[in-house]
Structure 1
């Protein structure tokens, strides 16, 4: 039986990398044991610790160059730290990324 992780794959031996990003849907990521046995599945995280500081630093210049091109269209709203309580309440009802920033001086 082919589950959702494998349904569109033609070659189960081809590496499938599952990247865990964030925890908005919960603190755990249950994976059926059959998926672990049936395909070349690799699980990785996306947070601090999943990449070495040396590798992060090595990518910073290219990342900064890409970000400054202005080609990204992100639905983000900056929220001053003084409004953090309201931001937490808003986060529960919006798909927009809220970024807490220092209060204006």
Structure 2
């Protein structure tokens, strides 16, 4: 993957190449051995094979994958899992009563 930062005129400001295990937030991107936080520019996350030059056009922007890479809300996910575990425990206890 690659992280591309660009301005409102679609001029490329910076590119981080060969990043993996990417998670994207609204103003930050983290990956296996790095991060960029507090991003003020526009940014997209692209597959490595996408070629970019000094500027990008809408067809490149449309290839953005950051929505697929959003950070998981671990607090919400944890609460959902706790609910599922509790439901499973109750089911097991009910089944044990039947035996």
Bigger radius of gyration = 2
Q: Same fold (TM over 0.5)?
A: no
The TM-score range, normalised by the shorter chain, is under 0.3
TM-score w.r.t. the length of structure 1 is: 0.20
TM-score when normalising by structure 2: 0.20
